[in-house]
Amino acid sequence: MAENQPVDDAGQANFDAVIAKDSRIEPKDWMPADYRHALVRQMSQHAHSEIIGMQPEANWITRAPSLKRKAILMAKVQDEAGHGLYLYSATETLGTTRDEMTEALLAGKARYSSIFNYPTVSWADMGAIGWMVDGAAITNQVPLCRASYGPYARAMVRICKEESFHQRQGFEILLELSHGTPGQKAMAQDAVNRWYAPSLMMFGPPDADSPNTSKSMAWNIKRFGNDELRSRFVGMLAEQVKVLELELPDPDIRFNEDTKSWDYGPLDWAEFKEVLAGRGPCNAQRMERRRAAHDDGAWVREAAAAYAAKQSASNDREAA
Amino acid sequence: MGTGEVWPLWEVFVRSNRGLSHVHAGSLHAPDSAMALRNARDLYTRRNEGVSIWVVPSDAIAASDPDSKGSFFESPQGKDYRHATYYVKSEGVKHL
Amino acid sequence: MIPTGSHHSQARDGSLAGVGPSTGSHHRNPTPYSLGDSSASATRITPGNALRPEDIALAAAEGTAHPREAVAEYALRLGDDALILAQRLGHWISRGPELEEDVALGNIALDQLGHARSFLTYAGAAWGKSEDDLAYYRREPEFRSAHLFEQPNGDFAVTIARQFIAASYQYLLYRELTRSSDPMLAAIAGKAVKEVDYHLDHSTQWVLRLAGGTEESNRRMIAGLELMWPFVGELFEDDPLIAEVGDAGVVPSSLKEEFDRATAAVLAEAGVEVPAHPMATGGGRHGRHSEHLGYLLAEMQVLAREYPGASW
């Protein structure tokens, strides 16, 4: 990464003009070191979240209660691997390799969305994750389809198209449960209770405490503040939960006619910070699983690389 | 992390239908071209996005220098006579 | 005979109101013909047209798909093989040696699960049972899977060895089954053979790479093949059911010669020997299973059995 890049007045002028026109920055353009750094941070964190986010749902693939649900869940978790890949690829255009990003993740230097540090303890969690966690993710991601960095925006277009089924399948799981036996309905309500607050916290801390938000918005990476998106999301949940005939565990949700936005009860940011700091229920487990997959796969990656080198050497010999 | 296990980066181009060009879809890692094609099939055509795939080693692509954008792409600017719309006197003449 | 094509009325790439990205109308249009290059896109998605388990269930409900007893028993064998393999492969997702391979194994698992659902749905039509009745509410001795499919994943080489044998076998089997006198079996095989063709290619590529990669990978590949090869024998055993099924099915022993030739060719290219172990006693087709199946079923069935009769 060009940390100590020389001052480039023409480059800066071009960058400013592109941002002012709301056009797109492309990989080989000159860009301020801070912009590159902010992108690598946000995009790699996003990619890591997709990859770590596979684990809580993969936890239920082998126990899915019907073959149709098993297929859907498998396809969804597999999509998340794909989305992680799209995002790693887009980040690589900024000069940081996937290998470096993986290393940063495994060393605990890079973050991923805190929500994946919560355990999936029942089947209904597959529904709540799809409806609420993916719902929050989509609310966050749709504006990113217009992010000022071209490869990021393009990756997000692809991801948003694919994710549209993720939220629906989650909603339908909850719908089936809430209209099923009393035991199933209780399972659904319990999952909604547990995932509600963490999903609201996915939008990040309040704008007043979010040091990166204003800069990201000035650069057209983010288009809306954390609080605005969170409020918009609460509004969607409040309507959709009626169809589910379930309740959100927050008596303070109401539409505020003055601000024309949705109000909600206070969130426990102390808990958020605890989980972020590594003291959540599953932080160590998630990292260990990722590390194990990476370490156990090393000999496979080495083998394929060695085979490719041998083949290419023998092709060279034949050509000579 | 050993460098011996790092697979190179490939750019993926997908043709969505006969009659259309291959369009850049994204990139991926693979040890060689055979696996790159298969990985591309698995990653970029899970929803019938393609009927044909190209993969190219990322480092084999030469790109124009974005910094010279001003001069490199200046020449065609203003050469209206290359376009049919420049020729207004013949407007309204059939089959022209 | 088999309804396809017109059932995708729902907007497949729509999202919950107002939250979907605006991607331009041509992305939403699954027009099968070219609109000129201005519509070139790498993200245009469609569900495609193929025989789905839901179509078979519909045909069964309408009474147009009703296998005779022997055919149903035969379909159960094929369905159980695919189901157990899908269950095994599903465990790899989020644990693969590289992310690209997570996606590849996921695709193969989904294909196998699709085949399982089709075969089980069709088999169930004979007995008024759904795919889920058969998958979740049969006891271990009622399963008909061969031991190969039940074997644990082991390391990546073990999984590839199992995949290589499974795909080699299923490819030949489904290729022949497309000529089945039973139109539904032929139709399921017609879809499955194309997918398994890719599974065979995938596992072949990996056998070559692992065998010809590093010393460690070569050792592991050979160990994987040694571990799995004894379960080849059971796949090609004939029994009275096969005779009863007649030209609706495929005689397993008739595939053995080509299996031996094709697998030997790949292993020769990979520079490894065909394992010479004696074949293990099978029994899966008659409900006598490996020690592993019980654990697999316990995990697979636990939730469904906690809520008998529930809908999901």
pLDDT class of C18 with cuts at 50, 70, 90:
very low
Q: Are B2 and A298 a contacting pair at CB < 8 A?
A: yes
B19 within domain boundaries: yes
CA distances from A48 to A80, A154, C280 (A): 10, 18, 44
Compute the nearest-CA separation of C48 from chain A (Å): 15
Range of the domain at B29: 1-62
Q: Where are the alpha helices (DSSP H) in chain C?
A: 25-28, 53-61, 69-90, 99-124, 131-137, 147-150, 156-177, 183-211, 215-228, 232-235, 240-245, 256-270, 293-306
Which tops the pLDDT comparison, A23 or B91? A23
ipTM field: 0.93
d(CA A263, CA C243): 71
How far apart are the CA of B89 and the nearest CA of chain C, in angstroms?
29
At C9, the pLDDT band (50, 70, 90 cuts) reads very low
Q: What are phi and psi of A139, to 5 degrees?
A: -60, -40
**pLDDT value, residue C277:** 87
Distances in whole angstroms, Cα of residue C310 to Cα of each of A42, A63, A68: 42, 15, 14
Task: Examine residue B9 and state whether it is found in any structural domain, yes or no.
Answer: yes
Choose among C53, C193, C197, C38: nearest CA to C134.
C53
Cβ neighbours of C202 in B, within 8 Å: 38
Average pLDDT over residues B44-50: 91
Residue pair A248/A237 in contact (Cβ under 8 Å)? The answer is: yes
Q: Is residue B83 part of a domain?
A: no
Q: Would you kindly state where each structural domain of chain C is located, as residue ranges?
A: 59-303
Inter-chain CB proximity C95 and A292 less than 8 Å: yes
Instruction: Determine which of C28, C44, C208 to mutate to test the interface with B (most B C-beta atoms within 10 Å).
Output: C44
Tokens representing residue A214 in the block: 């204003």
**Per-residue confidence at B84, pLDDT binned at 50, 70, 90?**
confident
Residues 6 or more apart whose Cβ sits within 8 Å of residue B6: A97, A99, A301, A305, B29
**Tally of structural domains, chain B:** 1
Buried-exposed string C201-229: b where 16+ CB fall within 10 A, e elsewhere: ebbbbbbbbbbbbbebbbebbbebbbbbb
> Can you say whether the dihedral through the CA atoms of C278, C281, C285, C290 is positive or negative?
negative
DSSP string, C264-295: HHHHHHHT-PPP-PPPPP--GGGT---TTHHH
The pLDDT value recorded for residue C1 is 39
- How confident is chain A (320 residues) per 10-residue block, as mean pLDDT? 65 92 92 95 96 97 98 96 96 95 94 95 98 94 93 94 91 97 97 97 90 83 90 96 97 95 94 87 95 96 96 83
C209–A77 CB contact, under 8 Å: no
Q: Say what the pLDDT of residue A214 is.
A: 81
Q: Which residues of B touch C (CB under 8 A)?
A: 7, 13-26, 28-31, 34-35, 38-39, 41-44, 46-50
Residue C113 has pLDDT above 90, yes or no: yes
pLDDT confidence tier of residue B38, bands split at 50, 70 and 90: very high
Looking at beta carbons, which residues of chain B come within 8 Å of C96?
A: none
pLDDT of residue C34: 44
Contacts of C86 (CB under 8 A, 6+ apart): A70, C109, C110, C112, C113, C116
Helices (H) and strands (E) in chain B, counts: 2, 3
| CATH 3.90.45.10, applies to C59-303 | no
Q: What is the C-alpha to C-alpha distance for residues C52 and C133, in angstroms, rounded to an integer?
A: 18
User: Residue C259: is its pLDDT beyond 60?
Assistant: yes
pLDDT score of A4: 56
Residues 92-111 of A with CB under 8 A from B: 92, 97-99, 102-103
- Beta carbons within 8 Å of C31's beta carbon, 6+ residues apart: none
Mean predicted lDDT score pLDDT of chain C: 89
pTM, 2 dp: 0.90
**C23: pLDDT strictly greater than 50:** no
Q: Count of CB contacts below 8 A, B vs C? A: 70
Identify all chain B residues contacting A30, using CB atoms and an 8 Å cutoff.
Answer: 66-67
pLDDT at C37: 65
Work out the number of other CB atoms within 10 angstroms of the CB of residue C186: 16
Q: Is the pLDDT of residue C20 over 80?
A: no
Q: Which residues contact A59 (CB under 8 A, 6 or more apart)?
A: A120
Nearest CA-CA partner of C30 in C18, C12, C52, C4: C12
Q: Is the pLDDT of residue C36 over 80?
A: no
Q: Establish if C167 touches chain B: CB-CB under 8 angstroms.
A: no
CATH number at residue B7: 3.10.20.520
- Is residue B85, in this structure, part of any structural domain at all? no
Least confident range of A75-79, A312-316, C142-146, C228-232 = A312-316
Residue B76 in any domain: the answer is no
Asked if C135's CB is within 8 angstroms of A74's CB, the reply is no
Rounded mean pLDDT of C114-134? 97
The C residues from 82 to 101 touching B (CB cutoff 8 Å) are: 98, 100
